[in-house]
């Protein structure tokens, strides 16, 4: 089955063509980083407008790169939520109109389930059940995944997501937006043991997170030591990153042990962080667990993962209708 995927949940306009939920024929992503960079974060109204400008060209490019005709598409899958309502509406309306006009089955799916299913676009996907850590700019959660369409929430952040904390720390230090990649590169030059920040484990026996405290701790350090800021900036971000990474790795490993899952997955935009990938791999091997991480290109928002998970809904006969709408927040 050839599925067209559409993703516009935040600030990337994406379209992809995927066969049977595993083989990518094309994956096109148009980023809005340059648009939002001057503001230090995503401006929802600007994001919506840019999606409107980009959706048709991105769709056309995905079809061209897949080297197929429009009449060869069997179905359409699109992100329904969670995300920015204005952004979601652009992709959802486009996908709905395309499917209805061509008489194609279509399905709106969870952006989060798309991330979880991204590991199935790689050569060695995990068997069910497995435990997944989804960590991005808007979400930090752990799931027990029983099938392509069934995942139960084990824990989530009570305040800031990990990726959001990276962006806010980068903004405090004047490093620019988006902060994740900038902090990661700068941290490589620093000593994570030079400036220690408290590890926000909350209750070590559960799987919830909280990253607002560590963000505040970094801000206090900056305010107390303004004269040392320039010489210590790489050590500050290295210490901050290590604290976040240590908590993330600890929680996902503990969840796998408690659920007796020998396979774990690390997905979402922050899964591209080199130190996080290293730490989780190291801790997983120490516990005899198998780790599955998508390639960096599949960690961020993309439409291939939406087409992949959409395939399994469509295969089960689950489709969307004309009255279906998007949502900004909803449990997986």
* 198: Cβ contacts below 8 Å, ≥ 6 apart: 213, 214, 217, 243
Provide the mean pLDDT of the chain. Answer: 94
Q: pLDDT category, 110, cuts 50, 70, 90?
A: very high
* Over residues 91-115, mean pLDDT: 97
Q: pLDDT category, 40, cuts 50, 70, 90?
A: confident
On the question of pLDDT at 8 being above 90, the answer is yes
* Over residues 209-232, mean pLDDT: 89
Q: What pTM was computed for the model?
A: 0.93
Q: pLDDT category, 204, cuts 50, 70, 90?
A: confident
**Tens of pLDDT, residues 306-317:** 999 999 999 999
Q: What are phi and psi of 160, to 5 degrees?
A: -75, 145
On the question of pLDDT at 332 being above 60, the answer is no
On the question of pLDDT at 239 being above 90, the answer is yes
**Tens of pLDDT, residues 50-65:** 999 999 999 999 999 9
Share of the chain above pLDDT 90, in %: 88
Q: What angle do CA 76, 78, 80 make, to 5 degrees?
A: 145
Residue ranges, CATH 3.30.420.40, the chain: 2-116+299-315, 126-293
Share of the chain above pLDDT 70, in %: 99
Q: pLDDT category, 331, cuts 50, 70, 90?
A: low
Closest CA to 276 of 213, 195, 192, 194: 192
- Residue 259, burial from CB neighbour count under 10 angstroms (0-12, 13-18, 19+): middle
Q: What angle do CA 28, 30, 34 make, to 5 degrees?
A: 155
pLDDT at 31: 94
Element (H, E) at 146: strand 140-147
Torsion of CA 145, 73, 63, 4, to 10 degrees: -20
CB 307 within 8 A of CB 66: no
pLDDT at 41: 87
Give the C-alpha separation, 180 to 162, whole Å: 9
Q: The CATH number of 126-293 is which of 3.30.420.40, 3.40.50.1820, 3.50.50.60, 3.30.70.330?
A: 3.30.420.40
Q: What are phi and psi of 3, to 5 degrees?
A: -110, 130
* Over residues 23-42, mean pLDDT: 93
- Looking up tokens 């929680």 gives 251
* Over residues 144-172, mean pLDDT: 94
**Tens of pLDDT, residues 248-304:** 999 999 999 999 999 999 999 999 999 999 999 999 999 999 999 999 999 999 999
CB atoms within 10 A of CB 260: 8
**Edge-to-edge, what's the strand order for the sheet holding 75-81?**
23-31, 12-19, 2-7, 75-81, 106-110
CATH number listed for the domain at residues 2-116+299-315: 3.30.420.40
């Amino acid at each position: 089955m050839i599925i067209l995927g559409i993703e516009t949940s935040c600030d990337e306009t994406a379209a992809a063509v995927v066969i049977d939920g595993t083989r990518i024929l094309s994956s096109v992503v148009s980023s809005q980083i340059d648009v939002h960079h001057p503001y230090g974060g995503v401006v929802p109204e600007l994001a919506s407008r840019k999606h409107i400008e980009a959706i048709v060209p991105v769709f056309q490019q995905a079809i061209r790169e897949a080297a197929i005709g429009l009449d060869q598409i069997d179905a359409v899958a699109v992100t329904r939520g969670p995300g920015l309502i204005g952004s979601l509406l652009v992709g959802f309306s486009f996908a709905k109109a395309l499917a209805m006009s061509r008489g194609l089955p279509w399905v709106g799916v969870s952006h989060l389930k798309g991330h979880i299913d991204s590991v199935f676009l790689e050569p060695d996907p995990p068997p069910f059940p497995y435990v997944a850590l989804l960590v991005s700019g808007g979400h930090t959660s752990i799931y027990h995944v029983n099938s392509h369409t069934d995942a139960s929430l084990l824990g989530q952040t009570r305040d800031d997501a990990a990726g959001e904390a990276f962006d806010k720390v980068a903004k405090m230090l004047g490093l620019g937006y988006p902060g994740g990649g900038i902090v990661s590169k700068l941290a490589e030059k620093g000593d994570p043991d030079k400036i220690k920040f408290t590890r926000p484990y909350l209750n070590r026996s559960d799987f919830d997170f909280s990253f607002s405290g560590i963000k505040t701790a970094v801000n206090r350090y900056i305010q107390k030591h303004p004269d040392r800021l320039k010489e210590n900036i790489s050590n500050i971000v290295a210490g901050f990153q290590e604290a976040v990474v240590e908590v993330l790795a600890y929680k996902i490993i503990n969840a796998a042990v408690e659920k007796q899952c020998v396979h774990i997955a690390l997905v979402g935009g922050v899964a591209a962080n080199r130190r996080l990938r290293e730490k989780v791999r190291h801790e997983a091997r120490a516990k005899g667990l198998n780790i599955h991480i998508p390639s960096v290109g599949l960690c961020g928002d993309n439409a291939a993962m939406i087409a992949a998970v959409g395939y399994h809904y469509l295969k089960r006969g689950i489709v969307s209708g004309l009255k279906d709408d998007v949502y900004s927040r909803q449990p997986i």
